[in-house]
Structure 1
């Protein structure tokens, strides 16, 4: 599956699960892509802000993420770096529990669901494991999230993937545009630009 380059900017409105907004800017680099984003939201009566800068190589494999979060409980930062072969360091500490993860998935972000889709380039009917380094929105806790994606037929012309995250007992159909960016994440977010 080939994708066009992402636009210079994109935005999502968070719906149902939380109220808020995410704005993202894409920049090409010599190695691939740099993505700057910010999400603000209120969820379960708690507000938070997450700013991030993520570096990807040309194949959309995460290379690093620098994340800053603010909430009523204070300000936090995380620096997450990988060697590209599925080995990670969080704030300079080797994190073997994350071995095998190829992507970063920010709980606060609809955009980061683009990484496995663009990296895997699945063909219809193929299901792939896509474990990710998962960063919680409110406190920037880092954990492993096992998840799967499967490209399914869609008559509307959009790319749709059957998504599942067993740890959350969650599954849905995710709709993507031709740049491999999430268009509709049922109950979570919808793309507005």
Structure 2
């Protein structure tokens, strides 16, 4: 599946599971994309904010992420880099538990669900594993998230993906636009711009 370039900016409203907002800006670079975003929310009575800068290659595979987060527990930063072959370092420390992950998935972000979809470019009916380096919103800790995506067209012609993250007990259908950005994540986020 081919995707058009993303818009210069996009925004999502967090719904149901948390209340908040995410704004993101896309900028092409010499050999990929730079994505800058900020997301804030209230979840289970706790507040947090996360600013991020992602470096992506031309296929939207993650190269690195620079994160700054704040919660009632204080301010934290994280620098996450990958070699493009599925090996990761967090703040300069090798993280073998993330071996094989190709994408970063920020708990705070609806945008990062675009990374595996754009990178995999699945055909109708195809399913693929997409393990990710999953970054928690409140404290920026990183863990492995095993997940999968399958392209499922419906009668309206919308791009829908059957998404599963068994470790989190999540199974749902995600809806995307023609640029591969998430439009609707049931119970979590909806695109507003």
Q: Please classify the TM superposition score into its range, dividing by the shorter chain length.
A: over 0.9
Query: Aligned partners of 1:157 and 1:66: how far apart in 2?
Result: 36
Q: Which runs of 5+ in 2 are unaligned?
A: none
Partner in structure 2 of residue 151 of structure 1: 151
* Secondary structure at 1:118 match in 2: helix
Deviation at 1:90, TM superposition (A): 0.2
Deviation at 1:157, TM superposition (A): 2.5
* Secondary structure at 1:66 match in 2: strand
Partner in structure 1 of residue 60 of structure 2: 60
1:84-138 deviation digits (Å, cap 9, x = unpaired): 0000000000001000000000000000000000000001111100000000000
* Secondary structure at 2:140 match in 1: coil
Partner in structure 2 of residue 75 of structure 1: 75
Mapped pair 1:32 → 2:32: yes
Partner in structure 2 of residue 140 of structure 1: 140
Query: Aligned partners of 1:4 and 1:176: how far apart in 2?
Result: 12
Deviation at 1:169, TM superposition (A): 1.1
Partner in structure 2 of residue 92 of structure 1: 92
TM-score normalised to the size of structure 1?
Answer: 0.99
Q: Which runs of 5+ in 1 are unaligned?
A: none
* Secondary structure at 1:190 match in 2: strand
Count of aligned residue pairs for this structure pair:
193
Taking only aligned residues, the RMSD between alpha carbons, in angstroms, comes to 0.5
Partner in structure 2 of residue 184 of structure 1: 184
Query: Aligned partners of 2:177 and 2:97: how far apart in 1?
Result: 33
Query: Aligned partners of 1:89 and 1:164: how far apart in 2?
Result: 26
Query: Aligned partners of 1:89 and 1:49: how far apart in 2?
Result: 23
Following TM superposition, where does structure 1 have runs of at least 4 consecutive aligned residues deviating by more than 2 angstroms? Answer: none
TM-score normalised to the size of structure 2?
Answer: 0.99
